[in-house]
Structure 1
């Protein structure tokens, strides 16, 4: 039977590996990289456990999804005497458990090669190994090898990343991929191409492009347009791609994740040939924390991670990550894989069409639910991404999300169980209670643009124009210094930015039942019984926060984005509140009388909006 080097034993020198080494190896000794040879040394006598997120082998998922029949651990070692112990993690394992007898490795001044047959029982979710050393031991060229039933699938993998003025991220990722994939000598090097769709047109095409990497200057058509351009490029390259990997620009990636994705594609069982492979989102700032590993749309119309938050330096979380089963309340038809790392078969794109022209937000969720394919996840397939609270943008969350979810549901049947009208109502009420009038108006801008029908969103330039408009109309933040000046000019006594901390920003106060009822019926003193309010409260920027006790009865709300050291001052304005409500009621009246027509128009527009002909014209590729 043929064999494949499926996963390299991974040791890296990156900010994530240096800050969170237990993602790679749990050790009571130091691991050092030789600057000359590039080889790694287990520097001290001690125990080095590679049964980790990146260096364990996901045998349960390999048995489910692939034609792998057996596996070997290939090690190349040099130095002091050592013992190699195979390990495993079962469903209820709290730590790595030994399997079989250890292998003794004598000390040697030359490289020794070991090929150890992996023992895999029915209880094993992951397998790994521990090296116990009596002194310094060097390790190189080590990997897991799989024996496969049948021939390898022919795979041509393309990677598409869309960028807009994020040169530092993109140039770093290009360099990593050139060094660790194209110069690796592995099979992927001859069957992989990287497309960088440059919506900002700021990258140096001549400097960065070569036979493996294509920089494609593009109009600013958002992530949806950029990724669609990448799909088209991949379909029409000289040797057409079989699969395309979509990846965000502002991420840190381990090239090993891409290698494993390629190897996984080559050995999938036929029933999973049209599956999507989804990479997890790890927190860029706290690199051991997993934020999302596939998501789903809630009944209330919000995006939600399918899994609870996990800390991947914890052994039990590494196992849990592999055995997680979707709860009954998460329906398959509501589930999606985000495009920060998502590998899609080209055959699926040809069957289901191209994405919707919605610029940013919901494009990936809509496409995942539209295609309804198996979503494959696996330890070691991931990127590190800035967390959402760090980059909260009302133009995205209040305008783009509101409009695009409604367009998607009417056009392709996206998230049929989700009530996006409920989400609209909830967001408007929430913003009004917090005096976020500009952001409530963004929700209505989005709603009204949805009500214009598919002919509006299909126009060239509209997607960018509306996003830029939303960015101009959203609540504008100022520096902390300017915020202090504004507070003094407005006569807000007692506010000193130097005395503000996260505890105050994120805090709240309790309310009685009567107070809760008053706040609900009056929208924090803005209807029926109107009050001017007095004093101020400090609250967080993120739109979904609702510190109800802190804000009640206040005249001023000082909104703090502590991460970016910016803020804004909101002033209670019952007249503006009433204007927004009247506008909302007018929009609802129009919606109720036209929604059936709109649903029909959007549905009829689906073949056009997702067609190759439409997109080539939209992107000026003809």
Structure 2
């Protein structure tokens, strides 16, 4: 018998991961659920075919054995609802996929589970083959069994060998006649053969701002989700916009379906931090749920992931934040990142080392993707989907009052400091609108990028004066100035001044700062975009590029003399013709600081391609902002230790429910779904359930 097979007679097994098929059968979605590709091993002497994907050269025996995917079209017509799949005679399908393989290493590391049981029910005779992988992505065959029509295959499998990574999955093989999966599921038990004593429930908090169509679609998906309603106390929608979800066609039907499991809370636009803090606060006040699940409004949710996150959290050995991954809504097989961290010396977010960003699982499946087999430990999970235990909320408080940016990352760091880890759980995910066509570091959000990163570093950086963050802030200011992005620099200086004013500004400015930031930005020409590029004067080059070549980025050896020359040029008046006509049109992808630094003016496209703005060099503005940046950074350097102490001392106060209540009370009107406010005695003037 294989050492991976275990015997647990009399054990209680809990279903934590059901095998599912997509809600809407789509060619891009299907590859995340069932894999029709063959999978052979690179290094086994198998010649690579055109289109093969591998991390090791085919035929190289010195390389470790890794799966190679032969891409093929899936058979959408074989999907039988959410649980069933037909398999044609002589065919083989694999459930070694993102949504249906079992992430054994995560259960091994974080939960009390010690074994997993696979149950597969077949409607027709077929063969079930079970595989496992290790942290390197190498696969092993565990066991196989022929199953009669209407039969059930069961295998009890150990989790002991998954310390650093690895998954379990199964393939289904049809013989001379077709077979069909009726259902399959993964169940777990602990060392004592038991299970969690009580079933947990959750509330779902959705923050929305003028996306009523997206929000209604999300509510409709939750209302129809098998199993979710049974563990749901309520969905709380924080509607912060002027285009209300309750006014969207079809809302009344969804509200009637959800009944008292839906509540809409109206409040002023307090951003993601204000919306999700309100969701935490309402869940805390109601006192019914064990968890609050934060969901963005502009997502498509896989409802099974909600159940998996809840089950995983129940089994964790200590209270644990459980997050879901994010796929691209418009490129459905593409995952943005498999795990996020805050790099402490830079104090900047990004993917965990070794994780490939924007990996396309529809082109290179899970079995052929070694980096996804190593367990990825994270610092935080984005609040597009994040399940937070109420015990964590009670101990560490609500979000930073920062409107947007760094609220989710800081919360993960704060929870970790209090002993509560975050896990980004494979198999729990949403599809979200991609941010690749955005550059929110240039628009009004630049203020929040700068201020909130500095605040988070003051609270959590282990390095003297924040490590590299100070130097990066100075360099970023210079880059924006030499790029003629004066509106961005104005907002960054505003952010620096607010940080220097101390922690009191966070709560005091939350309801008004966004409007003030937007108003300040409009004063600058580089912020005045037009959708019609012909509304700008036609370009006229002042002089051709040097030696006919476009500027390139300076390297570490040439940076200082290059910077000295560029800064000196910024102090001289621009060419007169460049004040009347742009020198050229510059695409957003080409608008790098080392290119823009050589121009006196340019019409630059926005990142999403919908508009363009006229950048014009202004030596007077350059000098003023450079002086102000130098002064602000000098003060930040000198006062960092005192500021850090002040922000850390005030943290518990400005993240407390009581502090947030004052903000909510000033901005909130509560609406009882489907009824007049006066007719619902369960809803008070600020949405409080008595």
Please tell me the TM-score bracket, short chain as reference: 0.7 to 0.9
Match of 2:655 in 1: 610
Say whether 1:11 aligns with 2:21: yes
Match of 1:56 in 2: 101
**What is the TM-score normalised by the length of structure 1?**
0.83
SS in 2 for 1:388: coil
How far apart are 1:152 and its partner, in Å?
A: 1.2
How far apart are 1:166 and its partner, in Å?
A: 1.4
How far apart are 1:354 and its partner, in Å?
A: 1.9
- Structure 1 residues 49 and 37 mapped into 2: Cα distance closer, same or farther (>3 Å)? closer
Say whether 1:113 aligns with 2:152: yes
- Structure 1 residues 364 and 11 mapped into 2: Cα distance closer, same or farther (>3 Å)? same
How far apart are 1:236 and its partner, in Å?
A: 1.8
1:360-371 correspondence runs (5 A): 360-371=404-415
Q: Which moved more, 1:228-237 or 1:27-36?
A: 27-36
Say whether 1:167 aligns with 2:212: yes
- Structure 1 residues 584 and 54 mapped into 2: Cα distance closer, same or farther (>3 Å)? same
- Structure 1 residues 38 and 116 mapped into 2: Cα distance closer, same or farther (>3 Å)? closer
Q: Distance in 2 between matches of 1:140 and 1:472?
A: 60
Match of 1:342 in 2: 386
Residue by residue, what CA displacement relative to the aligned partner does 1:273-314 show, whole Å, maximum 9, x if unpaired?
222112222333333333232221442343222242252443
Say whether 1:90 aligns with 2:129: no
Q: Distance in 1 between matches of 2:201 and 2:395?
A: 18
Say whether 1:451 aligns with 2:478: no
SS in 2 for 1:291: strand
Question: Number of aligned pairs?
Answer: 584
Q: Distance in 1 between matches of 2:78 and 2:127?
A: 21
Answer yes or no: is the 8 Å Cα contact 2:292–2:389 preserved in 1: yes
- Structure 1 residues 597 and 27 mapped into 2: Cα distance closer, same or farther (>3 Å)? closer
Which one of 9, 14, 21 corresponds to residue 30 of structure 2? 21
How far apart are 1:71 and its partner, in Å?
A: 2.4
Q: Distance in 2 between matches of 1:509 and 1:590?
A: 34
Q: Distance in 1 between matches of 2:401 and 2:289?
A: 23
Q: Distance in 2 between matches of 1:537 and 1:583?
A: 30
Which one of 342, 350, 361 corresponds to residue 296 of structure 1? 342
Match of 1:245 in 2: 293
Match of 2:246 in 1: 204
**What is the TM-score normalised by the length of structure 2?**
0.76
Say whether 1:519 aligns with 2:568: no
How far apart are 1:619 and its partner, in Å?
A: 0.3
- Structure 1 residues 41 and 59 mapped into 2: Cα distance closer, same or farther (>3 Å)? same
Q: Distance in 2 between matches of 1:190 and 1:93?
A: 35
- Structure 1 residues 601 and 320 mapped into 2: Cα distance closer, same or farther (>3 Å)? closer
Which one of 371, 374, 386 corresponds to residue 320 of structure 1? 371
Query: Gaps spanning 5+ residues in structure 2: where?
Result: 1-10, 38-73, 545-549, 666-685
Q: Distance in 2 between matches of 1:511 and 1:359?
A: 36
Answer yes or no: is the 8 Å Cα contact 1:539–1:547 preserved in 2: no
Q: Which moved more, 1:129-138 or 1:340-349?
A: 129-138
- Structure 1 residues 93 and 514 mapped into 2: Cα distance closer, same or farther (>3 Å)? closer
Residue by residue, what CA displacement relative to the aligned partner does 1:301-335 show, whole Å, maximum 9, x if unpaired?
43222242252443356553342466xxxxx8xx3
Residue by residue, what CA displacement relative to the aligned partner does 1:440-496 show, whole Å, maximum 9, x if unpaired?
11111211222333333322623443454366457436455x2233042x656999x
Answer yes or no: is the 8 Å Cα contact 1:82–1:105 preserved in 2: yes
Answer yes or no: is the 8 Å Cα contact 1:522–1:529 preserved in 2: no
How far apart are 1:415 and its partner, in Å?
A: 6.5
Which one of 434, 456, 461 corresponds to residue 387 of structure 1? 434
Answer yes or no: is the 8 Å Cα contact 2:87–2:173 preserved in 1: no
How far apart are 1:190 and its partner, in Å?
A: 3.5
Answer yes or no: is the 8 Å Cα contact 1:298–1:304 preserved in 2: no
Answer yes or no: is the 8 Å Cα contact 1:453–1:602 preserved in 2: yes
Q: Distance in 1 between matches of 2:408 and 2:284?
A: 19
Match of 2:490 in 1: 441
- Structure 1 residues 39 and 588 mapped into 2: Cα distance closer, same or farther (>3 Å)? closer
Match of 1:268 in 2: 316
Say whether 1:129 aligns with 2:170: yes
1:486-505 correspondence runs (5 A): 486-488=536-538, 491=540
SS in 1 for 2:97: coil
- Structure 1 residues 353 and 562 mapped into 2: Cα distance closer, same or farther (>3 Å)? closer
Q: Distance in 1 between matches of 2:147 and 2:551?
A: 60
Which one of 472, 476, 492 corresponds to residue 527 of structure 2? 476
Say whether 1:193 aligns with 2:234: yes
Q: Distance in 2 between matches of 1:229 and 1:415?
A: 30
How far apart are 1:614 and its partner, in Å?
A: 1.3
Match of 1:587 in 2: 632
Q: Distance in 2 between matches of 1:13 and 1:128?
A: 21
Answer yes or no: is the 8 Å Cα contact 1:153–1:266 preserved in 2: no
